[in-house]
Amino acid sequence: MHTPLGICNTTNDGLSTGKRFRYDVADGRQVIWMSERGGWNQLYLMDGSTGAVTTQITSGPWVVRHVQRVDTLSRAHYVDTYYVDTYYVDTYYVDTYSQVDAPPVIETIYAGRQGSFVPKSFGVMNAMRTLGGQHSMGELLFHPEFYAAVYSAAGGHDHRMDKIMDKMWWNERGMGWPIGPQYVASSNTEHAGTLQGKRLLVVGEYDTNVDPASTMHVVNSLFKATFDLRVIPNADHTSGGLYGDRKRNEFFVHHLLGVEPPNRNVERATPSR
């Protein structure tokens, strides 16, 4: 019986520890391993005895989010990626199962450097928080050719001032220490003046997780642009609750579908019969 080998990821950059996958082939003689060693989360075929990379199974400027299944007979792998719902991968070719890059695509993100989730249709979605607020705005800021509008709530828009109190180490774990040019390069605050598209910013009045000043620094850089800001009174780290959900839905309906949402004030003022 083959003795399983311990394999680890080694990189000079921060790792997203939330994505893990290992699949032993032929009783561990080969191992399908998920790794960010090349800068993007991809799949590798490893030698189960030495731990060396035999071949890189997936590659490109995108990430593998999930492996649906492995077919050991045909040596095929079915994986979820960012732009394409499912890839069929084998030694010779990659075939697309279904496309999701036709608008409107609404992505809700609460992740580290690479993780993402793209729903296939619009609906009630998880609230954007902290890195969700930061990354959602960052996607519009750094990829305006793909994104048209952003709802950004409770965003820590600069890793140099993201967490407060005793959580400063949280940023350094992913961004590295000491503070270097990577902090400036990824800062929404530093680049907010070049922002395109529509944006709605939401922040709790006394957020004790992410300093509200982070959002206000972005607002200060956006004064010459068109943007919407909602400050939720007496609120901690939040996306606005039911009010925020409604404003988010109306925001996307207006800017992505071109449909005017109902006037809630008129509805409330109309007496019931």
Q: 77 - beta bridge partners?
A: 70, 89
Say whether pLDDT at 129 is over 60.
no
Q: Which helix (H) or strand (E) holds 139?
A: helix 131-142
**For the chain, what is the mean pLDDT?**
75
| Phi then psi dihedrals of residue 56, to 5 deg | -95, 120
pLDDT at 58: 87
Say whether pLDDT at 16 is over 60.
no
Residue listed under structure tokens 């079915």: 78
More confident position, 256 or 164: 256
Instruction: Calculate mean pLDDT across residues 169-177.
Output: 75
pLDDT at 216: 92
Instruction: Tokens for 269, please give them.
Output: 């003022």
Where residue 61 falls among pLDDT bands split at 50, 70, 90?
A: confident
**pLDDT tens digits, 199-240:** 999 999 999 888 899 999 999 888 777 789 999 999 999 989
CA distances 214 to 164, 177, 206, Å, are 11, 21, 12
More confident position, 172 or 230: 230
Say whether pLDDT at 88 is over 70.
no
What superfamily would CATH give domain 131-257? Alpha/Beta hydrolase fold, catalytic domain (3.40.50.1820)
Instruction: Tokens for 152, please give them.
Output: 């950004």
Listed residue (100, 56, 95) closest to 82, CA to CA: 100
Where residue 114 falls among pLDDT bands split at 50, 70, 90?
A: very low
* Alpha-carbon torsion (116, 117, 122, 123), positive or negative: negative
Say whether pLDDT at 99 is over 90.
no
Domain ranges of the chain: 22-96, 131-257
